[in-house]
């Protein structure tokens, strides 16, 4: 595990607030060790830092009440959705109260004609799409995990469909949030665009709960495409695959998904998902549109791929075949673990301009091999975002140190290429050291916003901003 920095605790305030909330919320306030550990745990290698209590509100007014009580006694508040974040976002380095919004899980209104939906933050993306399916609508942002939509907004999540549909910042129309003083605010209306004042919606999207707790979300929706086609194509090298990606984007092919698996990942997928793909770098693609349109798009990509040595190209509109292919992609974490049984997987992500993607991915693979690390790579390469999964023994200090060195090196490399240390995982605790390298003096202005809105630093303290700010 990587040691997390602790912050000063307000023990007297925490004790007082816990007693008040227990009286107010009864069994919806939990202090057992196991549930507190669960709410400090994420799929990360950072130390678990448990909150002192977990409370389960069921309405915006209850969230506001909790925050007002915590604000009065200067006690930290840590929002919690499903706990699928990867950079220590839900840890409680100063203790405090975890506000679990899982019971705020109602879909409040679907406006089919306007292609939007209003919902509470505890609704997960799978629950939403199941609810929408019979109405011919869907929400396209797919980070892989069945995350809560409040958490996805808070971390500015994206995923496999981002190349066509954008990220959460592009798909949130409005938010309702409880601010650090307990005030309830609405950041916008349902109109598709607005020039009305500061864009508070985008300020809260990606703020990781450090500026307020999201209690209601208005999201853009999409119509389910008339037809969907998937394709796969193998390449002689990562560079060739990335060159095909660049040409596809530049040619204007409206690809919905375009995913890269390196040779190690393909080998893992073959073994785990019972596939027989050539064990060389692979691109998986998906096209949305009309029956004729998706066939044409796939054919165009096939022609482009051929220019870069692409082989074993196959496209299909069969739901069963498409599902098998994409299930294998979504199972890559579990498949990769089989490359080293008993090891833990440490996932990191960076994003670079696609013109530097081949160079960055190749360098990442070479560096891992040089350091003796098993590190399969997958990526949402249509927007330059890729993930390296380090398979290590967390009980081995040397391996942990190597992994830490590699992650730092990769973040620095991406930043040097005009990229970012995180395309979709967020900063949390894990990537705080790299944010200042990436943005420089802009950090001071982020800190000024944080101080103005949350002068007592109760909202998810110890996240995003470097400790020096």
Q: Which CATH class is domain 339-428?
A: alpha beta
What are the φ and ψ backbone dihedral angles of 200, each rounded to 5 degrees? -70, -25
Q: Are 84 and 125 in contact (CB under 8 A)?
A: no
CA 5-83-41 angle, 5° bins: 45
Rounded to whole angstroms, how far apart are CA atoms 360 and 349? 12
> What does DSSP assign to residue 209?
T
Q: Are 363 and 356 in contact (CB under 8 A)?
A: no
107-223 folds as 3.30.465
**Region of residue 2 (phi > 0: left; psi between -120 and 50: alpha; otherwise: beta):** beta
Which tens digit of pLDDT belongs to each residue from 86-142? 899 999 999 999 999 999 999 999 999 999 999 999 999 999 999 999 999 999 999
Q: What local confidence, expressed as pLDDT, does residue 2 receive?
A: 66
Rounded to whole angstroms, how far apart are CA atoms 94 and 114? 43
Would you give the distance in Å from CA 129 to the centre of its chain? 18
Which tens digit of pLDDT belongs to each residue from 130-142? 999 999 999 999 9
Rounded to whole angstroms, how far apart are CA atoms 410 and 416? 10
Domains 11-102 and 107-223 share a fold: no
Q: Which CATH class is domain 227-333?
A: alpha beta
For 290, residues 6+ apart whose C-beta sits below 8 A from its C-beta are 226, 227
What are the φ and ψ backbone dihedral angles of 30, each rounded to 5 degrees? -115, 140
Residue 40 β-bridge partners? none
Which CATH architecture fits 11-102?
A: 2-Layer Sandwich (3.30)
Residue 347 β-bridge partners? 389
Ranges of residues in the chain whose predicted pLDDT is under 50: none
Q: Are 339 and 264 in contact (CB under 8 A)?
A: yes
Domain-by-domain residue ranges, the chain?
A: 11-102, 107-223, 227-333, 339-428
> What does DSSP assign to residue 324?
H
Rounded to whole angstroms, how far apart are CA atoms 244 and 306? 9
Q: Are 224 and 138 in contact (CB under 8 A)?
A: yes
Which tens digit of pLDDT belongs to each residue from 8-43? 999 999 999 999 999 999 999 999 999 999 999 767
Q: Are 241 and 309 in contact (CB under 8 A)?
A: no
Rounded to whole angstroms, how far apart are CA atoms 164 and 90? 30
> What does pTM read for this prediction?
0.95
Q: What is the CA radius of gyration of the chain?
A: 22
Cα-based distances in Å from 452 to 3, 437, 447: 30, 24, 9
Q: Are 414 and 351 in contact (CB under 8 A)?
A: yes
Q: Are 228 and 318 in contact (CB under 8 A)?
A: no
Would you give the distance in Å from CA 221 to the centre of its chain? 19
Q: Mark 92-113 as b/e (b = at least 16 C-beta within 10 Å).
A: bbbbbbbbbbbebbeeeebeee
Q: Are 4 and 432 in contact (CB under 8 A)?
A: no
């Amino acid at each position: 595990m990587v040691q997390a920095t602790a912050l000063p605790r307000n023990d007297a305030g925490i004790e007082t607030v816990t007693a008040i909330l227990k009286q107010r919320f009864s069994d919806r306030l939990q202090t057992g060790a196991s549930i507190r550990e669960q709410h400090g745990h994420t799929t990360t290698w950072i130390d678990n830092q448990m909150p002192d209590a977990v409370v389960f509100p069921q309405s915006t007014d209850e969230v506001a009440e909790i925050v007002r009580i915590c604000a009065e006694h200067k006690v930290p508040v840590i929002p919690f959705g499903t706990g699928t974040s990867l950079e220590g976002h839900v840890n409680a380095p100063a203790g405090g109260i975890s506000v679990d919004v899982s019971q705020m899980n109602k879909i409040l209104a679907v406006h089919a004609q306007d292609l939007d939906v209003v919902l509470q933050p505890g609704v997960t993306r799978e629950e939403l799409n199941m609810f929408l399916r019979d109405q011919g609508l869907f929400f396209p942002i797919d980070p892989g995990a069945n995350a809560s939509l409040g958490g996805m907004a808070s971390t500015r999540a994206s995923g496999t469909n981002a190349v066509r549909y954008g990220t959460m910042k592009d798909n949130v129309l409005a938010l309702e949030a409880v601010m650090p003083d307990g005030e309830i605010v609405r950041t916008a209306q349902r109109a598709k665009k607005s020039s009305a004042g500061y864009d508070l919606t985008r300020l809260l999207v990606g703020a990781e709960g450090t500026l307020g707790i999201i209690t209601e979300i208005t999201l853009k929706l999409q119509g389910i495409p008339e037809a969907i086609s998937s394709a796969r194509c193998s390449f002689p090298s990562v560079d060739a695959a990335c060159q095909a990606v660049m040409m596809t984007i530049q040619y204007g092919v409206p690809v919905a998904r375009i995913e890269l698996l390196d040779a190690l990942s393909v080998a893992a997928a073959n073994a785990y998902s019972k596939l027989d793909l050539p064990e060389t770098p692979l691109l998986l693609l998906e096209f949305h549109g009309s029956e004729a349109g998706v066939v044409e798009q796939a054919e165009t990509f096939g022609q482009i791929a051929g220019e870069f040595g692409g082989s074993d190209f196959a496209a299909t509109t069969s739901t069963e075949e498409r599902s098998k292919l994409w299930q294998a992609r979504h199972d890559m974490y579990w498949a990769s673990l089989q490359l080293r049984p008993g090891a833990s997987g440490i996932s990191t992500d960076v994003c670079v301009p696609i013109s530097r993607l081949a160079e960055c991915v190749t360098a990442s693979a070479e560096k891992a091999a040089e350091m003796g690390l098993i590190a399969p790579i997958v990526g949402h390469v249509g927007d330059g975002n890729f993930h390296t999964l380090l398979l290590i023994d967390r009980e081995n200090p040397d391996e942990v140190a190597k992994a830490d060195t590699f992650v730092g090196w990769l973040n620095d490399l991406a930043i040097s290429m005009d990229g970012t240390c995180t395309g979709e995982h967020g900063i949390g605790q894990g990537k705080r050291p790299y944010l200042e390298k990436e943005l420089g003096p802009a950090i001071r202005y982020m800190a000024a916003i944080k101080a103005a809105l949350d002068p007592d630093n109760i909202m998810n303290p110890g996240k995003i901003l470097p400790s020096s700010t």
